[in-house]
Amino acid sequence: PPALQPHDYLNVDALLSDEERAIRDAVRAFVQDNVVGQVGDWFEQGTIPRELAPELGKLGVLGMHLEGYGCAGATATAYGIACLELEAGDSGVRSLVSVQGSLAMFAIWRWGSEEQKQEWLPRMAAGEAIGCFGLTEPDSGSDPGSMRTTARRDGDDWILHGQKMWITNGSIADVAVVWARCSDDGKVRGFVVPTDTPGFSAPEIHKKMSLRASITSELVLDDVRLPADAVLPEVASLKGPLSCLNEARYGIVWGAIGAARACFESALDYAGTRIQFDKPIASFQIQQQKLANMALEVNRGTLLALHLGRMKDAGTLRPEHVSMGKLGNVNAALDVARTARQVLGGNGITLEYPVIRHMNNLESVVTYEGTADVHSLVIGQALTGISAFR
């Protein structure tokens, strides 16, 4: 058999096609050139440069898995591989791409009118227009069905009123997909809101200790008047936003393992060079056990992601499968990051190394797109047939 590679212990590489490997290498090189050296500063400053969006557009990862309208039409597996490489740079970069492609663009692509698609998708695929996705509210997180944002009709127009919370890309977005409950029939619908519409504002949320290389905002909708054709015509239920979440959660199944891999690689490298008691710390059994467990989690998580990717491409992936992937891989990534942080000793707490940045980011990743508890309950319901949400 071929020699064992510490960075690809199970030779997952051999399970990928040439095209998938080429996409991986292109995204990895992009992250190396455009993210790795700068992201510690972005994290410290609490920002991410807007100019990254057109660069990501040129790379072809915005709406990468969508067909037409300037999108790459890649397979789900290829999109997942891209998410892994992006999140090996930073969860904030993967978030930008997820929110753009899997949430805002997917909502328009799946549930929008032909005019809405023509107007927004090509510019969004190019990164010329940035999108955000407003579902969560201050009093409505895990239970989005309790949302209070309303849409009422005034003649042909719609009037949106309410507030959204924790919205990635909010303050830098050109367009917001906002989910609201319609006051005439009580149904949840999506609205395409250009962010320069009077009454719309997006104050940025500060003092975050996680996902700092990402913009997070409130959306304030103060009687925002929209034309009749602003509504997404093809869905009138919570199924609309939840279908988008399936897409973004799928990307996180892969992405979280990218963050874990970066932490593992940093710890492996550090353990081999850091000398204490006259030896590299890698020569101590306790550290080897940590490295072995990290390698196990990274490899197991990669295989799980790849399996779900192949299922998605085959059309057999269910939302309940995605919940298992998101729960398992984000928890695994958090374990790896926390272990790696200890291997690095004092250096594990600085932004000179990637580890604590990833570790803190993963505290957001485990909460957004359905908390670990929510995904456990989805799996529990699938196993028992009993819903324990209420």
Binding site for ligand FAD (CB under 6 A): 99, 133-136, 141-142, 166-168, 211, 216, 364, 367-368, 371, 373-374, 377, 389
Count of all residues that appear for the chain in the document: 390
What is the Cα–Cα distance from 201 to 193, expressed in whole angstroms?
11
8 A C-beta contact, residue 115 and residue 233: no
CA angle 28, 255, 17 (to 5 degrees): 55
| Cβ neighbours of residue 88 closer than 8 Å, sequence gap 6 or more | 28, 31, 258, 259, 261, 262
Q: Which residue is nearest to ligand TGC (CB)?
A: 95
Considering the rule CB under 6 A, would residue 324 count as an interface residue with ligand TGC?
no
In angstroms, what is the C-alpha Rg of the chain? 21
DSSP state of 36: I
Considering the rule CB under 6 A, would residue 136 count as an interface residue with ligand TGC?
yes
Smaller CB distance to ligand TGC: residue 57 or 370? Answer: 370
Shortest distance (Å) from residue 281 CB to ligand TGC: 35
Smaller CB distance to ligand TGC: residue 153 or 389? Answer: 389
Shortest distance (Å) from residue 51 CB to ligand FAD: 21
Alpha carbon dihedral 260, 375, 10, 255, in 10-degree steps, equals -40
Which residues, numbered 217-256, are part of the site for ligand TGC (CB under 6 A)? 237-239, 242-243, 245-246, 248
Shortest distance (Å) from residue 102 CB to ligand TGC: 7
Smaller CB distance to ligand FAD: residue 166 or 254? Answer: 166
- From ligand TGC, ligand FAD, none, interface partner of 216 (C-beta below 5 to 8 A by class): ligand FAD
- CA nearest to 2, candidates 20, 19, 14: 14
8 A C-beta contact, residue 159 and residue 223: yes
Considering the rule CB under 6 A, would residue 379 count as an interface residue with ligand TGC?
no
Window of 23-31, 58-66, 264-272, 363-371 that interacts with ligand TGC by CB under 6 A: 363-371
Smaller CB distance to ligand FAD: residue 120 or 133? Answer: 133
Smaller CB distance to ligand FAD: residue 221 or 267? Answer: 221
- 3-class secondary-structure state, position 60: coil
| Cβ neighbours of residue 215 closer than 8 Å, sequence gap 6 or more | 47, 48, 168, 169, 170, 171, 172, 204
Shortest distance (Å) from residue 241 CB to ligand FAD: 8
Considering the rule CB under 6 A, would residue 380 count as an interface residue with ligand TGC?
no
| Cβ neighbours of residue 164 closer than 8 Å, sequence gap 6 or more | 134, 135, 136, 137, 149, 170, 178, 218, 219, 221
Shortest distance (Å) from residue 328 CB to ligand FAD: 16
Each residue of 68-99: b (16+ CB within 10 Å) or e? ebebbebbbbbbbbbbbbbbbbbbbbbbbbbb
- From ligand FAD, ligand TGC, none, interface partner of 378 (C-beta below 5 to 8 A by class): ligand TGC
- From ligand FAD, ligand TGC, none, interface partner of 203 (C-beta below 5 to 8 A by class): none
Active site residues: 369
Shortest distance (Å) from residue 322 CB to ligand TGC: 8
Considering the rule CB under 6 A, would residue 319 count as an interface residue with ligand TGC?
yes
The secondary structure element, H or E, covering residue 80 is helix 76-89
The amino acid present at 73, given as its one-letter code, is G
What is the Cα–Cα distance from 269 to 218, expressed in whole angstroms?
40
Quote the tokens at residue 193: 């809101």
Smaller CB distance to ligand TGC: residue 135 or 366? Answer: 135
Smaller CB distance to ligand FAD: residue 293 or 371? Answer: 371
- Residues in touch with ligand TGC (CB under 6 A): 95, 98-99, 135-136, 142, 144-145, 168, 237-239, 242-243, 245-246, 248, 319, 368-370, 374, 378, 389
